[in-house]
Amino acid sequence: MSQPSASVPAAPAADLAVIGGSGFYSFLDRVEEVEIDTPFGPPSDRIAIGELHGRRVAFVPRHGRDHRYPPHRIPYRANLWALRSLGVRQVLAPSAVGSLTPSHGPGTLAVPDQLVDRTSGRAQTYYDEGAAVHLSFADPYCPTGRRVAVATAREAGWNPVDGGTLVVIEGPRFSTRAESRWYAAQGWTLVGMTGHPEAVLARELALCYTPLCLVTDLDAGIEEGEGVTMEEVLRVFAANIERLRALVADVVKTLPADRDCPCARSLDGMTPPIALP
């Protein structure tokens, strides 16, 4: 059964978007906010559209401005659908993550190249009715976005980790020590709560998706003590937010406007059972 296309108000177009949290609410110039409805409900909050380095950029507060959505309740499908309806084709996704290896301490910037899904119960496809759509997801992130992010970070003085595997857990709780040690034993390097299904939904809409992961803590199985606390995560994130925000702006400036990556061709030869915006 086909679903209706999104209802979108008259709004400025943007070709690039940032999905992020606190610290990114005021990094755009000449901002306009728009409310968008989608076949999957409203996004996390009003979408801010503004200018950054001469480009039109949309921003979605992933958890809502008041942080009302825990990771497992974020309206991921609505967020990505709304961005595409505005013309967005490239997405940058900064987030706080835990480290599963002592070599990636707090303050480390990582740009992973692989993802493991350990969530449960999250809607993670647009194509669950009408026809089966099987997309390639062997490499979950945009190769161009990753290359630009790593190179830009190095130029800005970071020592970024190029590659690695992000395991996404259901949350909102942190991992037990046993879970954390099991993840590390698989060779996975980062753990977070929001990177899935964002990445796969972006691929289903033929969007480029690039993660920018800031390590805020060593996960429970890596460091002895009381384990991960929200206070620690917020403290490390706040200490690095200005630098991370500047990096996102530099990546926005550097990303090529014309896409020649596989992401843009992810739906080639397929007929999705719903009309895309």
pLDDT at 9 over 60: no
Indicate the pairing of strand 16-20 with strand 55-61: parallel
Say what the pLDDT of residue 12 is: 53
Q: Has residue 8 got a pLDDT over 70? A: no
In the set 45, 217, 250, 260, the catalytic residue is 217
Rounded distance between C-alpha atoms, residue 256 and residue 118, angstroms: 33
Contact in structure between 143 and 260 (CB atoms under 8 Å): no
What local confidence, expressed as pLDDT, does residue 3 receive?
46
Average pLDDT of the chain to the nearest whole number: 91
pLDDT higher than 80, residue 39: yes
pTM: 0.92
Give the tens place of pLDDT for each residue, 75-130.
999 999 999 999 999 999 999 999 999 999 999 999 999 999 999 999 999 999 88
CA 257 from centroid of its chain's CA atoms: 19
DSSP secondary structure letter of residue 53: T
What gap in Å lies between CA 193 and CA 96, rounded to an integer? 9
Nearest to 200 by CA among 91, 94, 107: 91
Cα separations in angstroms, 25 against 61, 106, 176: 7, 23, 32
Average pLDDT over residues 15-26: 82
Within 10 Å of residue 113's Cβ, how many Cβ atoms? 17
**What pLDDT score was predicted for residue 233?**
77
Q: Is the pLDDT at 172 greater than 70, yes or no?
A: yes
CB atoms inside a 10 Å sphere around CB 271: 8
> How would residue 239 be classed by pLDDT, with cut points 50, 70 and 90?
confident
Residue 217 designated active-site: yes
Contact 170, 119 (CB under 8 A): yes
Quote the radius of gyration of the chain (alpha carbons, Å): 18
Look up 139 and say whether it is catalytic: no
Instruction: Give me the domains of the chain, ranges plus CATH numbers.
Output: 16-258 (3.40.50.1580)
Residue 72 has pLDDT above 70, yes or no: yes
In this prediction, residue 1 carries a pLDDT of 36
How many percent of the chain have pLDDT more than 90?
78
Confidence of residue 4 (pLDDT cuts 50, 70, 90): very low
Active-site residue identified among 29, 219, 258, 260:
219
Which residue, among 156, 163, 147, has the nearest Cα to 104 in the 3D structure? 163
Tell me: the pLDDT tens digits for 173-208?
999 999 999 999 999 999 999 999 999 999 999 999
Q: Under a CB-based contact definition with an 8 Å cutoff, are residues 57 and 248 in contact?
A: no
Report the DSSP pairing between strands 208-218 and 109-111.
antiparallel
Residue spans of beta strands (DSSP E) within 81-130: 90-99, 109-111, 114-118
Please write the tens of the pLDDT for every residue from 130-166: 888 999 999 999 999 999 999 999 999 999 999 999 9
Whether a cis peptide bond, with omega within 30° of 0, leads into 106 is no
Give residue 225's pLDDT.
62
CA-based torsion, 52, 67, 220, 184: positive or negative: negative
Going by pLDDT thresholds of 50, 70 and 90, the confidence category of residue 238 is: confident
The Cα 121–Cα 260 span in angstroms is 34
- Where does the pLDDT of residue 249 fall: very low under 50, low under 70, confident under 90, or very high at 90 and above? very high
